[in-house]
Amino acid sequence: MTVVSRHEASHERATARPARRAVLTGALALALLGTAACGGGSAAEGEAEATGAPETTEPVVLTVAWWGGPARAENTQKVLDLYTKAHPNVTFKTQWQGYSGYYDKINTSAAGRNAPDIIQIDNRALREYANKKLLADLTEAKGGTLKVDDIDPKLLGTGEVDGKLFAVPLASNTQALAVDKTLLEPLGLLPAETGWATWDEFAAWAAQVTTATGGKVWGVRDESANMSWFEPWLRQNGKNLYDGQKPGFTTADVEEWFQMWADLRDSGGATPAEVAQPANSGDISKNTVATKQTATSFSYDNQLTELAKATDHELVLVPLPGPLEGNYSRPSQFFTAYARGENVATAIDVINFFVNDEEAGAALGTERGLPPSSKVSDAIAPSFSDQLKYVVAFDERVTAEAGDTPPVPAQGDAEMVKLLITSAENVGFGRQPVQQAAEEFVTQATAALERAGS
């Protein structure tokens, strides 16, 4: 079950992220960024007309939508309040919820031509929303209302589709495992901070944990339905999730993935499907480390602060098993402006405020991930709690050896995620054998991507 990697890490990869490394090593920037006077504006369908800051003082009400937990809601509201304090004519309505069902709600409102003015999305939805002309083209706003000089060009580029900027990264993060230190340290099973060199080592460790706890706590959650872990595993094996608008993997790859997790379940190292299923929706409150059902589970590094609030156990971060080249620095979320909104120019200015204002950066912290602006990062890093500094140090260590960030996912990615969950659960619950489920997944995924791209 050992994963073989092409192991093509290079000096270029290790040095291509200067803006990210500036979080810890850059000099403290004390000059506050000025924000322009703000107000309304209009945009043609699918286009953002504003290239400079809006100047009207007429009342403007913007609706802002995001997913996340209570901590994210509190931090986001603080920034919106800061913006209104600076621009009293601009007020906000907010919509926030858990990840499950979030895009369904956005899609319904967009179908009624009444989507929120500012929409948080992730890279899995970007291409689809851009191609449907739901998002304002922000390209012309760069250098005007939207300041991007302090954002790593590679990170900023993750918000582009076909050479046009549609989304601005709110933060960045990387893949990780959240590990229950309180449980494992007394058992002598706390992994090294570098994790496991191979999947074989990880599998053996997970089974040891389950045995050591008398079966009361499993080593790891069954993550076979998790696309966010399937992709790094593919990358470790020299594959990509997508080849243009087609799957970048074969049925044999999916069979190997499903069988690996079946073996982990059989050994007792991974949870049964019924324990894993509640967390398959991506709801962080259902994370099995937070619920103390497993010693470890998949997480993004920035989620540590939120997970830690859900348990009285001490949690630490460890890289995914296998070569670090499978990991990559990714935009945790984007902010986008609704193309048909009545105040696109104002929405862009608000997005700029979230990304470039230092007081806003301090209010957001790292709950969404690391700040995209190196200047903001430098300014707020000294005030980070020990926990946030730990998250930053982990991210820096992993991304120094991580692979390149892949292109924006194919259109239809959201359907791919659902199909993987269905097929993985079919295997886990014994409804289908591994080979049949793998074949069905690849067939359905190929068809879904073809439909989405047509």
State the residue for tokens 């999916």: 254
Q: What angle do CA 336, 342, 345 make, to 5 degrees?
A: 55
Rounded CA-CA distance 49/159 in Å is 18
Neighbour count for residue 443 (Cβ, 10 Å): 12
- Supply the DSSP symbol for 331: E
pLDDT of residue 53: 57
Q: Are the beta carbons of 240 and 248 closer than 8 angstroms?
A: yes
Backbone angles phi, psi at 305, to 5 degrees: -60, -40
Q: Determine the 3-state secondary structure of 39 from DSSP.
A: coil
Burial class (CB in 10 A: 0-12, 13-18, 19+), 85: exposed
Say if CB 110 and CB 134 are below 8 A apart: yes
pLDDT tens string, the chain, 454 residues long: the values are 333 333 333 333 333 333 333 333 332 232 222 233 333 333 334 443 444 456 678 899 999 999 998 989 999 999 999 999 999 999 999 999 988 889 999 999 999 999 999 999 998 899 999 999 999 999 999 989 999 999 988 889 999 999 999 999 999 899 999 999 999 999 999 999 999 999 999 999 999 999 999 999 999 999 999 999 999 999 999 999 999 999 999 999 999 999 999 999 999 999 999 999 999 987 888 999 999 999 999 999 989 988 999 999 999 999 999 999 999 988 989 999 999 999 999 999 999 999 999 999 999 988 888 899 999 999 998 888 899 889 989 999 999 999 988 888 999 998 999 999 999 999 999 999 999 999 999 999 999 999 998 8
29-172+332-390 CATH: 3.40.190.10
Is there a contact between 176 and 320 (Cβ–Cβ < 8 Å)?
yes
DSSP of 90-156, one letter per residue?
Answer: EEEEEEEE-STTHHHHHHHHHHTT---SEEEE-HHHHHHHHHTT-B---GGGBTTTB--TTB-HHHH
What are the sequence ranges of the domains in the chain?
29-172+332-390, 175-327+412-453
136 and 85 Cβ atoms separated by less than 8 Å = no
- Secondary-structure breakdown of the chain: helix, strand, coil percentages, each rounded to the nearest 5: 45, 15, 40
Is the Cβ–Cβ distance between 53 and 73 less than 8 Å?
A: no
298 φ/ψ angles, rounded to the nearest 5 degrees: -65, 145
* In contact, 430 and 258? CB cutoff 8 Å: no
Sequential DSSP letters for 138-172: -GGGBTTTB--TTB-HHHHHTTEETTEE--EEEEE
> Are domains 29-172+332-390 and 175-327+412-453 of this chain identical in fold?
yes
Q: What is the CA radius of gyration of the chain?
A: 22
Please give the CATH number for the structural domain made up of 175-327+412-453. Answer: 3.40.190.10
pTM across the whole model: 0.78
The whole-number pLDDT of residue 153 equals 87
Per DSSP, the three-state class of 246 is strand
DSSP H/E element including 243: strand 242-243
Q: What is the pLDDT of residue 89?
A: 95
